[in-house]
Amino acid sequence: MRTSFMNIILSLQQLQEKINYELINIHTWLCANKLSLNIEKSNFILFHPPQKKLQDSSFSLKLCNKQLKREYSIKYLGILIDSHLNWKKQVKFKVKKIRRSIGILCKLRHYVDLNILVKLCYALIYPFLTYGILIWGNTYESTLKLKFILQNKAVCIITFSKLHVSYSSPLFKSLGLIKFFDIALFQIAIFMYRFHNYVLPAAFHSFFTEVTSVHNNIIILLDLQQNTVTIFPTQQPIVANLISVFKVHLSEILLMIM
């Protein structure tokens, strides 16, 4: 069983003292319940912006008088989380999986029809495009671009078309497939639909405060937990209404404006 503990404090010294104190409590609880923890596999990660240099040479966390190892990237529930939260390692890891799946499609396309190939795309490629996309899908477009290129390549392969990103929209539309960047918008819209209709778990109710619903074709959300503002630009007015549209129709809308 994988367990995690997280704390947010501005001062590294205070953070070290706080977590070491909590680790003592965790050890006490484990002993009281006759449970053990594999200290060799236990580690910690410090999250901070890449431009901020931490004075962390003396930062140390101990459990049972054994020092925990510091990691700069950890795998949690199938997602690679790095210390800068730029998701480059996550994307790189998934890109390898997608390339392997494309190789399979390339060999199979000569033996099965297009219907089967589309289903194989959903089975072999889409899980790597969509899993956890709400978490890492808002990172820089330059980081995510390779995923879209590979998705485009897969579509061109199964349709025996020439690889050209600029002219791929008709192929996606004919197959009923949503482009990678639209998948991210699709998932965000569903999440926000659920948020606005209070169907998310109660823990999410205080995550966002709506600053402006729609202003000049953008949706602005203030994240009180992370002290950040997220802006969703909309290239066409129809996208601005995604949140208020029932989720079943979102894919149809995205295909319509593709």
- CB neighbours of 144 closer than 8 A, spacing ≥ 6? 91, 137, 180, 181, 184
Please determine, for residue 37, whether its predicted confidence score (pLDDT) is greater than 70: yes
CA distance 232 to 102: 31
Phi, psi (deg, nearest 5) at residue 61: -120, 135
Helix axes 114-124, 141-158, angle to 10 degrees: 150
Between 17-26, 56-65, 93-102, 138-147, the lowest mean confidence (pLDDT) is in 56-65
Please determine, for residue 218, whether its predicted confidence score (pLDDT) is greater than 60: no
What integer pLDDT is reported at residue 223 of this predicted model?
44
What integer pLDDT is reported at residue 105 of this predicted model?
92
> Do residues 242 and 253 lie in contact, with contact meaning Cβ atoms separated by under 8 Å?
yes
Decide: helix, strand or coil at residue 161. coil
Please determine, for residue 1, whether its predicted confidence score (pLDDT) is greater than 80: no
Look over the chain and give the mean of its residue pLDDT values, rounded to a whole number. 78
pLDDT confidence tier of residue 52, bands split at 50, 70 and 90: confident
For residue 243, give the nearest of 228, 208, 1, 226 by alpha carbon.
Answer: 208
pLDDT tens across 219-252, in order?
Answer: 444 443 444 444 444 443 444 344 444 444 555 5
CA distance 123 to 119: 6
pLDDT tens across 131-175, in order?
Answer: 999 889 888 888 999 999 999 999 999 988 887 656 778 888 888
CA distances in angstroms from 187 to 137, 146, 183, 251, listed in the order given: 9, 19, 6, 10
Between 44-53, 101-110, 224-233, the lowest mean confidence (pLDDT) is in 224-233
What integer pLDDT is reported at residue 126 of this predicted model?
92
Torsion sign over Cα 173, 174, 176, 181: negative
What integer pLDDT is reported at residue 161 of this predicted model?
85
